[in-house]
Amino acid sequence: MPKKKLIWYPGAMYHVTSRGNRRNDIFKEEQDYIVYLDNIKEAVKYYDNNYKIISYCLMTNHVHIQIKTNDKHLWYLISRVNKSYARNFNNKYNYVGHLFQSRYNAELIEEDSYVLEASKYIHLNPVRANMVSNPQEYKWSSYNMYIGKEKEKLVNSEYILSYFKNKDRELYKKYIESSISSST
């Protein structure tokens, strides 16, 4: 059965996921994560910054990306990123066939409360998967940029931080980490 057509309009925001085929790993070593992030950066630049990466987390067998579009459909960005990455991965590891389970999944985010919830869900994903006990410990997410432990690159935290008084990164950290005990 064909997938339902994705609702899109200028300025739409999405929680995007892409999963490895048969839930297989799509990242085997550190360089693979770097290549995927570089692909996102290249694609955003290629499309003249028509997209803002709000948050992300790269897990071993799937990715989560929160994206705000401008005036170009989400498909252009994700298609470019995933096709390029799959080509690179298959060449590197001498694989044939589909790397990703299917086309990406995208959930439209229309309510303010879900904007924050999506960011929280993405940043807590490694904690929920029992890979780390605190999101600060996970290297392949935008969380440390949000809390000011790393220089911000690729992501635009302004949108999420605008929900907190004075765009306070510490308030965002408390918001995320207050859910840790309830999420494990």
pLDDT in tens, 42-76: 999 999 989 999 999 999 999 999 999 999 999 99
| C-beta contacts of 141-146 below 8 A and 24+ residues apart | 141/55, 141/56, 141/57, 141/58, 142/53, 142/55, 142/56, 142/57, 143/55, 143/57, 143/176, 146/55, 146/172, 146/173, 146/176
User: For position 27, what pLDDT does the model report?
Assistant: 98
Q: Is residue 8 included in any domain, yes or no? A: no
Q: Is the pLDDT of residue 123 over 50?
A: yes
Q: Is residue 128 included in any domain, yes or no? A: yes
Query: Mean pLDDT, to the nearest integer, of 4-13?
Result: 90
CATH code, 168: 3.30.70.1290
Full-model pTM: 0.94
In terms of residue numbers, what domain contains 146? 13-183
User: For position 15, what pLDDT does the model report?
Assistant: 98
Q: Is residue 5 included in any domain, yes or no? A: no
Count of structural domains within the chain:
1
